[in-house]
Structure 1
Amino acid sequence: MDRGGCQMSGGGPSSGDGSGPDRHGMITLEDLESFSEDQPEDSGNGSLEEEGQTIEEDENPDRLLHYWQEVARGHQVEVSQDMAEPIQQLSTNNQGRSHREQIPFTLLGRKEKCGEILYEKRHYEKGHWACIIMREETYEQSICYGFMRIMRYICQHNSLGDYLGMTLPIVTVVRTDENHSAMSPDVTVAYYLPTEHQAQPPQPHDSDIVIETWPATVVYTRSLLPSSRAFSGPTNEVTIINQISTLAELLESPGVCVNDSFIVAGYTNPAHNNRQNEIWFLERR
């Protein structure tokens, strides 16, 4: 990326083993938690929702805001009152799974052992992304605050003045030293523009959000399929470093990948504890 960022700097399409055509649904959204489905059951204190009920955003939008605030406090993140409208809009528009577009890719191959998928090799096409660089005290704070600013862009804070549509995953670019022992505090949070906006990306009102063109790239990742070693739960400096080290050990030729920049792909609300994630290694160009 420009401005000190890090684009998906992989190579172009590769024939791989020819094992797969273009696939848009291998990681099905039906298998993942949606933003509006993250709400927990009542813990007994009545602070979030009553037993057996879900939050009705259209009837009580403040209740959804309060839920986000409650969850975010666990990550030392404050959700301001002005996030009420974007949160409600995002949740309301994503009630139907069809409104959450998955970033398209081509499966180039898989490495399996004893029926377990160790990793996948994928090709992602060139595309436009809305990106913001964050530098908070912790990785968790950076992704939460970055995502909230991206949410505002998605929800009308753009040159169209309209809701743009949700795509998954939301990705963050992280940087490490060559030994993968420490992470840089600079984190890039990025949102892939929906297909209908790829040709003419709406411009953000937030001057810190930049529309960037990322080149086509090949990534290696541990997928979210049940037969793989999925990366679930909280993401922080420790868990990300551990996941990077694990995937590096699984790869047959880790030297073909960029060694100091990686992508964390998140398929659920960044503030939620049961997040579904992937680590992407980028093939060198």
Structure 2
Amino acid sequence: MDSGGCRMNGGGGGLDMISLEDLESVSEEQLELEEPEPEMEEEDLDQGGRLLQYWRDAARGHQVEVPTDMAQPIQQITSNNDGAHTREPVPYTLITRKEKCGEVLYEKRHYEKAHWACITVHEDTYEQSICYGFMKIMRFICQQNSAGSYLGMTIPIVTVVRTDESNTTLSRAVTVAYYLPTPYQNDPPRPYDPDILIEQWPAAIVYSRSFTGATNELSILHELRSLVEALDSPALGSDSFIVAGYTNPAAAHRHNEIWFLERP
């Protein structure tokens, strides 16, 4: 697993079957239907154990292992996504919006400089890299930080994605990034995990195009080409971009965005 710098210089991301958002779709009835693993002790079959088993079942499709120590952060994020807690959006200023026949082709936005917690992961597959990156970020959010507290959720969770020169193949190395909530922007808590870096990303001009549905390699490359076609003469990097995820991947109409960054 490689780690590296992750300033806002391109990227994208989304989990097909696992993400910080997935847990919102898990109801008590669903958990009651899950069969426990044979090695789990009876006293462990509480809500945390059922949630962990749910994640393990979901991860199996991507050949991803969810370790036992994920039970606590999974349960903590679930309990804090009960509707009483709001998720802070990453702030931006809308500069302009291009529309055609009532369809928004893209928005041009300005994002201020801000601190992000990020990790670069390089696994055998794109989906595995995102899954393992998200799990590490979850641990950081859930008390594995110098503040010793649950930091709170922000949206979107983004991943920096890199492509080959022809924009036809995604690199296995992806950067998963989490915007630190406002109370922690001036004094970011330190992560206990040395693979997670706290970066102050510079202010940036972003070209953003919304799309719905799954975020896998095929859909991301399709949306990438759609944004390229919609932009007239963008001053953009050609080998990296961002995919931002806002809603539960299990939802029928998921809200995602492709972001391109304007070069200085």
Same fold (TM over 0.5): yes
For residues 194 and 268 of structure 1, the distance between their equivalents in structure 2, rounded to whole angstroms, comes to 18
SS of 2:66 mapped into structure 1: coil
Q: Give 1:41 deviation, angstroms.
A: 9.7
| 1:219 counterpart letter in structure 2 | V
| 2:227 counterpart letter in structure 1 | L
SS of 1:108 mapped into structure 2: strand
For residues 40 and 117 of structure 1, the distance between their equivalents in structure 2, rounded to whole angstroms, comes to 34
Q: Give 1:238 deviation, angstroms.
A: 2.4
For residues 63 and 173 of structure 1, the distance between their equivalents in structure 2, rounded to whole angstroms, comes to 32
Give the match for residue 198 of structure 1. Answer: 185
For residues 122 and 66 of structure 1, the distance between their equivalents in structure 2, rounded to whole angstroms, comes to 40
Q: Percent identity?
A: 61
Name the CA shift for 1:97/1:122 in 2 (closer, same or farther; >3 Å): farther
SS of 1:161 mapped into structure 2: coil
Give the match for residue 39 of structure 2. Answer: none
Name the CA shift for 1:138/1:161 in 2 (closer, same or farther; >3 Å): same
1:119 aligns with 2:106: yes
Name the CA shift for 1:186/1:179 in 2 (closer, same or farther; >3 Å): same
For residues 97 and 243 of structure 1, the distance between their equivalents in structure 2, rounded to whole angstroms, comes to 34
For residues 251 and 39 of structure 1, the distance between their equivalents in structure 2, rounded to whole angstroms, comes to 39
SS of 1:159 mapped into structure 2: coil
**C-alpha distance after superposition, 1:45-102 (max 9, x if no partner):** 9337xxxxxxxxxx62211111122222222222111101000101111212643111
SS of 1:257 mapped into structure 2: coil
The Cα RMSD (Å) is 2.5
Give the match for residue 242 of structure 1. Answer: 222
Does structure 1 retain, via aligned residues, the 8 Å contact 2:9–2:240?
no
Aligned residues: 242
**Mean alpha-carbon deviation: is it higher for 104-113 or for 59-68?**
59-68
Give the match for residue 86 of structure 1. Answer: 73
Does structure 1 retain, via aligned residues, the 8 Å contact 2:9–2:241?
no
Give the match for residue 180 of structure 1. Answer: 167
Does structure 2 retain, via aligned residues, the 8 Å contact 1:176–1:184?
yes
For residues 206 and 64 of structure 2, the distance between their equivalents in structure 1, rounded to whole angstroms, comes to 31
Moved over 4 A (4+): 40-43, 272-275
2:239 to 260, 267, 275: 260
Name the CA shift for 1:92/1:46 in 2 (closer, same or farther; >3 Å): closer
1:149 to 136, 157, 178: 136
Does structure 2 retain, via aligned residues, the 8 Å contact 1:100–1:166?
yes
Q: Give 1:35 deviation, angstroms.
A: 4.0
Structure 2: gaps (5+ residues)? 11-19, 36-45
Q: Give 1:207 deviation, angstroms.
A: 0.4
Does structure 2 retain, via aligned residues, the 8 Å contact 1:6–1:261?
no
Does structure 1 retain, via aligned residues, the 8 Å contact 2:6–2:199?
no
Does structure 1 retain, via aligned residues, the 8 Å contact 2:5–2:197?
no
Q: TM-score, normalised by structure 1?
A: 0.78
Q: Give 1:219 deviation, angstroms.
A: 0.8
| Structure with higher RCO (Cα < 8 A, 6+ apart) | 2
1:109 aligns with 2:96: yes
SS of 1:78 mapped into structure 2: coil
Does structure 1 retain, via aligned residues, the 8 Å contact 2:146–2:192?
yes
**C-alpha distance after superposition, 1:106-156 (max 9, x if no partner):** 111111111111111111110001111100111111111100000000000
Q: Give 1:239 deviation, angstroms.
A: 2.1
Name the CA shift for 1:156/1:40 in 2 (closer, same or farther; >3 Å): closer
Does structure 2 retain, via aligned residues, the 8 Å contact 1:9–1:215?
no
1:137 aligns with 2:124: yes
Does structure 1 retain, via aligned residues, the 8 Å contact 2:34–2:50?
no
Give the match for residue 282 of structure 1. Answer: 261
Give the match for residue 47 of structure 2. Answer: 60
For residues 280 and 137 of structure 1, the distance between their equivalents in structure 2, rounded to whole angstroms, comes to 25
Q: Give 1:183 deviation, angstroms.
A: 1.9
For residues 42 and 260 of structure 1, the distance between their equivalents in structure 2, rounded to whole angstroms, comes to 44
Give the match for residue 218 of structure 1. Answer: 205
